[in-house]
């Protein structure tokens, strides 16, 4: 039995604990978790003076944000980033090592979110279409919310299947844009039939409302002085959009009514954000998000795709990217106002990040006297095989490429009794002298932990999965374009350099977040902090830290 002073001390301690518990804000009714596809940190702040008051400025002026937030992995691709964002796991754990990779048993391509067992609802399902999270081997914050209370709704919406599926996790519901019909659709992994609100929303084909319109500048010409003028020789005429304003969005189709060309092209312009905004509002109303009868918090995860597409075609330095950013800010202001009227922003935790940043167009970088260029992966494979054929006899030693991995024919090496590590090093030695290549790492190095003590080597290690990744990992030099098709886009991403890894990490929620600009963080810290605020356990592969300095 506890008596005397000890009992009084225990009572006092219990009283303090009760007071502290009462001071802790209840969890938000809604978590609005947002990613802008292909949005580097510099674009978050670059056009501050041209932003409205209710969009991005809500996060910059009244939220907490980290100016030096980075991804820690080297492979900054869409599938990888979205699998990381709400799992707070690195690729070596969540197993999404790229948008695509090669299955080592079948030798066939695997798309990061493909699952042949599942099909789209009321829609054609192409080969390698993203239909389930089967290839993602960890849980997300949304999964842990559902595990904790069984009542939370978790909805993810994006222009790309790999984006929405990565955010939805194992037990949420993912909707992705269809270029066939222009609708936001889902697969039978998530449900057997669409809900009534979805059917009602698409009854009058709202996806057709921008047909016949053109994308023009939304501000006076002089407002774009800090951006590169349009009609540059390095811009890409893609989806019939042209290389200068105004941009038509009919997809180049000779038709008097909307079709696949239009539905596809729309998402490559700011009109794609408006289409998504309409659907997001319908989902909030239809699912009654933020008004959960049980009192459990809901999660709405959004990935805004159009920014990535615009940067691919015109570069982040372009006036097209500039205009799209300012327009997206207005979309956010509209969305935040809508949510405020339904749920009250004081009850909502808003977060913002990105799946990756973006490099400047190599030709633009060259014009600024930087070392820049483009690497052709297929030519590189041919050059590698030619060099090895001279050394070991004719053969196709490297079979294929998926960013940023080369795959070796180990069966042929065994048949010829060639030492695996020796051939790997011969490939690496050749490529280390290849134009545009910064560093090369081999499977043997990675499996044995024989990596150099550099940040770059750590980034590669975090991105490499022993069972799934390729055999030779190539890191391009800064400002060098390394992608499957060297001239497919004007610009790209996927590197370990700061322009690709430095993305926003911002949070708004007066009850939980202390506003201000903060310093260093890792992107995996975002979801870990959200889980902490929600009082749910961290996802099972999580390696992030709670950003306690920005919490009330």
DSSP letters for 225-283: TTSB-S--TTS---TT--SSSSEE-STT---SS--HHHHHHHTTSHHHHHHHHHHHHHH
pLDDT-based confidence at residue 254 (cuts at 50, 70, 90): low
Is the confidence at residue 512, as pLDDT, over 80?
A: yes
Would you call the peptide bond into 18 cis, given omega within 30 degrees of 0 as the criterion?
Answer: no
Length, in residues, of the chain: 552
What pLDDT is attached to residue 10? Answer: 43
Q: Which of 419, 463, 415 is nearest to 441 (CA)?
A: 463
**Under 8 Å between Cβ of 422 and 405:** no
248 CB-near residues (< 8 Å, 6+ apart): 214, 240, 241, 242
- Percent of all residues in the chain with a pLDDT value above 90, rounded to a whole number: 91
* Ramachandran category for residue 89: left, alpha or beta (phi over 0 → left; psi -120 to 50 → alpha): beta
Is the confidence at residue 6, as pLDDT, over 70?
A: no
What pLDDT is attached to residue 256? Answer: 81
pLDDT-based confidence at residue 108 (cuts at 50, 70, 90): very high
What pLDDT is attached to residue 235? Answer: 82
Backbone angles phi and psi of 303, in degrees to 5: -125, 120
What pLDDT is attached to residue 15? Answer: 46
What pLDDT is attached to residue 253? Answer: 66
Q: Where are the alpha helices (DSSP H) in 30-160?
A: 41-46, 56-62, 78-85, 91-94, 141-149
What pLDDT is attached to residue 19? Answer: 46
Tens digit of each residue's pLDDT (9 = 90 or more) over 140-167: 999 999 999 999 999 999 999 999 999 9
Give the C-alpha separation, 552 to 549, whole Å: 8
Tens digit of each residue's pLDDT (9 = 90 or more) over 339-378: 999 999 999 999 999 999 999 999 999 999 999 999 999 9
- At residue 173, the 3 state secondary structure works out as strand
How are beta strands 348-353 and 30-36 bridged, if at all? parallel
Give the C-alpha separation, 253 to 338, whole Å: 35
Is the confidence at residue 20, as pLDDT, over 80?
A: no
Give the C-alpha separation, 177 to 285, whole Å: 19
Rounded to an integer, the average pLDDT of 317-332 is: 98
Rounded to an integer, the average pLDDT of 306-328 is: 98
Tens digit of each residue's pLDDT (9 = 90 or more) over 423-476: 999 999 999 999 999 999 999 999 999 999 999 999 999 999 999 999 999 999
**Under 8 Å between Cβ of 367 and 46:** no
Q: Which of 523, 476, 518 is nearest to 501 (CA)?
A: 523
What pLDDT is attached to residue 13? Answer: 45
How are beta strands 30-36 and 480-482 bridged, if at all? unpaired
- Percent of all residues in the chain with a pLDDT value above 70, rounded to a whole number: 95
The residues with which 155 forms a beta bridge, in sequence order, are 173, 300
**Under 8 Å between Cβ of 141 and 527:** yes
- At residue 431, the 3 state secondary structure works out as helix
Is the confidence at residue 541, as pLDDT, over 60?
A: yes
What pLDDT is attached to residue 166? Answer: 98
What pLDDT is attached to residue 184? Answer: 98
Give the dihedral sign, CA 493/128/461/37: positive
What pLDDT is attached to residue 190? Answer: 98
- At residue 114, the 3 state secondary structure works out as strand
Is the confidence at residue 7, as pLDDT, over 70?
A: no
**Under 8 Å between Cβ of 366 and 372:** yes
- At residue 149, the 3 state secondary structure works out as helix
Backbone angles phi and psi of 101, in degrees to 5: -155, 180
What pLDDT is attached to residue 22? Answer: 46
Give the dihedral sign, CA 105/107/112/117: negative
Q: What is the helix (H) or strand (E) element at residue 517, kind and residue range? A: strand 516-522
What pLDDT is attached to residue 485? Answer: 82
Residue with the larger pLDDT of the pair 252 and 401: 401
The residues with which 247 forms a beta bridge, in sequence order, are 215
Least confident of 176-185, 479-488, 521-530: 479-488
Residue with the larger pLDDT of the pair 15 and 75: 75
CA-CA-CA-CA torsion for 539, 542, 545, 546, nearest 10 degrees?
Answer: -10
What pLDDT is attached to residue 18? Answer: 41
Q: Which of 356, 368, 359, 314 is nearest to 478 (CA)?
A: 359
What pLDDT is attached to residue 11? Answer: 40
Backbone angles phi and psi of 305, in degrees to 5: -85, -35
How are beta strands 437-442 and 398-402 bridged, if at all? unpaired
């Amino acid at each position: 039995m506890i008596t005397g002073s000890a009992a009084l001390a225990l009572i006092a301690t219990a009283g303090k604990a009760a007071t502290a518990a009462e001071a802790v804000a209840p969890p938000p009714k809604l978590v609005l978790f947002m990613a802008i596809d292909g949005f580097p940190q510099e674009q978050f702040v670059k056009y501050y003076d041209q932003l409205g008051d209710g969009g991005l400025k809500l996060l910059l002026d009244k939220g907490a944000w980290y100016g030096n937030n980075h991804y820690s992995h080297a492979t900054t691709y869409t599938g990888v980033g979205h699998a990381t964002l709400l799992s707070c796991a690195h690729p070596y754990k969540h197993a999404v090592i790229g948008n695509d990779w090669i299955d080592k048993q079948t030798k066939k391509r695997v798309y990061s979110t493909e699952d042949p067992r599942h099909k789209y609802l009321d829609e054609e399902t192409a080969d390698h279409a993203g239909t389930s999270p089967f290839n993602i081997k960890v849980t997300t914050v949304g999964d842990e919310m559902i595990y904790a209370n069984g009542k939370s709704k978790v909805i993810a919406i994006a222009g790309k299947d790999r984006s929405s599926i990565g955010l939805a996790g194992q037990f949420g519901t993912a909707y992705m844009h269809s270029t066939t019909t222009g609708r936001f659709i889902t697969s039978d992994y998530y449900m057997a039939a669409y809900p009534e609100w979805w059917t009602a929303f698409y009854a009058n084909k709202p996806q057709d409302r921008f047909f016949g319109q053109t994308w023009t500048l939304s501000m006076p010409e002089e407002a774009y002085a800090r951006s590169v003028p349009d009609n540059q020789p390095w811009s890409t005429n893609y989806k019939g959009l042209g290389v200068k304003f105004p941009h038509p969005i009919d997809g180049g189709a000779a038709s008097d009514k909307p079709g696949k060309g239009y539905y596809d092209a729309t998402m490559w312009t700011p009109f794609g954000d408006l289409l998504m905004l309409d659907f997001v509002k319908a989902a909030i109303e239809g699912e009654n998000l933020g008004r959960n009868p049980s009192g459990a918090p809901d999660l709405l995860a959004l990935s805004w795709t159009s920014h990535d597409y615009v940067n691919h075609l015109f570069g982040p330095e372009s006036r097209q990217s500039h205009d799209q950013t300012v327009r997206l800010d207005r979309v956010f202001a509209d969305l935040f106002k809508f949510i405020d009227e339904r749920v009250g922003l004081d009850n909502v935790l808003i977060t913002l990040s990105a799946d990756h940043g973006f490099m400047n167009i190599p030709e633009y970088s060259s014009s600024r006297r930087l070392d820049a260029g483009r690497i052709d992966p297929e030519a590189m494979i041919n050059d590698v095989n030619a060099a090895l054929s001279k050394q070991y006899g004719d053969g196709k030693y490297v079979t294929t490429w998926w960013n940023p991995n080369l795959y070796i024919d180990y069966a042929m090496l065994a048949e010829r009794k060639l030492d695996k590590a020796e051939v790997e090093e011969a490939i690496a030695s050749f490529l280390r002298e290849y134009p545009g290549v910064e560093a090369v790492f081999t499977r043997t190095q990675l499996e044995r932990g024989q990596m150099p003590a550099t940040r770059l080597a750590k980034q590669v290690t975090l991105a490499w999965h022993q069972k799934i990744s390729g055999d030779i990992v190539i890191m391009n030099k800064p400002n060098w374009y390394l992608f499957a098709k060297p001239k497919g886009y004007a610009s790209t991403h996927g590197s370990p350099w700061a322009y690709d890894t430095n993305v926003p990490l911002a949070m708004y929620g007066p009850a939980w977040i202390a506003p201000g600009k903060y310093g260093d963080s890792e992107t995996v810290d975002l979801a870990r902090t959200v889980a902490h605020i929600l009082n749910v356990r961290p996802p099972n592969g999580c390696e992030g830290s709670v950003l306690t300095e920005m919490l009330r």
